A and B are shown apart, each in its own frame.
Chain A
Amino acid sequence: DIQMTQSPSSLSASVGDRVTITCRASQGISNSLAWYQQKPGKAPKLLLYAASRLESGVPSRFSGSGSGTDYTLTISSLQPEDFATYYCQQYYSTPPMYTFGQGTKLEIK
């Protein structure tokens, strides 16, 4: 099974900061990676898919990059509504299996 290791597990930042979250797969996943945002009591929301493609309606301050086993989510200038938990997820496995990272809780400094 493909394991996903996300770092950091928590992060404190201020409005306007640039923030980067990293996700590492236990084997290459050919950009089959998504990033989700989840707020307390709500369902996850898709932000990016195929590692770097922005989902419709998601602000352009969110971006993704990476290849092979290492991927990053960057928020260029934090807004108050961005404080949430972020998860990466791989969908490369055959047979189909979703594997999520353990999450990164982004908190206000």
Chain B
Amino acid sequence: QVQLVESGGGVVQPGGSLRLSCAASGFTFSSYGMHWVRQAPGKGLEWVAFIRYDGSNKYYADSVKGRFTISRDNSKNTLYLQMNSLRAEDTAVYYCAKERGTYCGGDCSSDYWGQGTLVTVSS
């Protein structure tokens, strides 16, 4: 069965960095685009970033552009989110999510989500 397991969250000071990972299993990882979506405490869902199945294109929300980098290693079935220059407003649960169809390029819904990893930015 499909599994997405995030890791790497924790407490970090403002201005600091953190790298999140999402280990995928149960499907052909290299055939699907992947997203990061976050949810601040008590708030709604916010899309963060998307990477195409082969890593050829990457897209970001304006709120994280220039600070966050999405990447993937298809040989390790793993998705990453490198977060730099962290701010208090980046505090959230971060979810990785899989596109519903193969090679969608972002024009698909997400059918599987990880359980999330909490990032807290605080001094």
A interface residues, Cβ below 8 angstroms from B: 32, 34, 36, 38, 42-46, 49-50, 55, 87, 89, 91-103
Identity of the chain A residue whose Cβ is nearest the Cβ of B47 in the assembled complex: A98
Interface pair A98/B37, CB less than 8 Å apart:
yes
The 0/1 profile, CB within 8 Å of A marked 1, for residues 81-110 of chain B is 000000000000001000010000111111
Of the candidates A34, A97, A103, which one forms a contact with B47 in the assembled complex, judged by CB atoms under 8 Å apart?
A97
Q: Judging by beta carbons under 8 Å apart, are B110 and A46 in contact?
A: yes
Asked if B45 is at the interface (CB within 8 A of a chain A CB), the reply is yes
Cβ-neighbour of A43 out of B47, B59, B113 (below 8 A): B113
Count B-side interface residues using an 8 Å CB cutoff: 24
Q: Tell me if B115 counts as interface (CB < 8 A to partner A).
A: yes
Tell me the interface secondary structure of chain B in the complex: loop
Instruction: Digitize B42-67: 1 where CB-to-A-CB distance is under 8 Å, 0 elsewhere.
Output: 00111100100000010101000000
Say how far B66's CB is from chain A's closest CB, in angstroms: 16
**Beta-carbon nearest neighbor of A44 in chain B:** B113
- List the A side residues contacting B106 at CB < 8 Å: 91, 93-97
Cross-chain contact B59 with A97 (CB below 8 angstroms)? yes
Chain A residues lying within 8 Å of B44, measured Cβ to Cβ, are 87, 100-103
A104 CB → nearest B CB, Å: 10
Choose among B35, B50, B109 the residue with the greatest number of A CB atoms under 10 Å from its CB: B109
- B109 near A49 with CB under 8 A, answer yes
- Bound complex: CA of A69 vs CA of B95, how far in Å? 27
Closest to B50 in A: A96
In the bound complex, do residue A96 and residue B116 qualify as a contact, i.e. CB atoms below 8 Å apart? no
Chain A residues whose CB sits within 8 angstroms of the CB of B116 once the complex forms: 43
Q: Is the CB of B111 within 8 A of A46?
A: yes
With A49-B100, A102-B44 given, name 13 new contacts (CB 8 A).
A34-B110, A44-B37, A49-B108, A87-B45, A91-B108, A95-B106, A96-B50, A96-B105, A97-B47, A97-B61, A98-B35, A100-B46, A101-B44
Partner of B95, one of A43, A91, A94, A99: A43
Whether the pair B45, A44 counts as a contact (CB closer than 8 A) is yes
Q: In the complex, A92 Cα to B34 Cα: how many Å?
A: 16
Chain A residues, CB < 8 A from B37: 44, 98
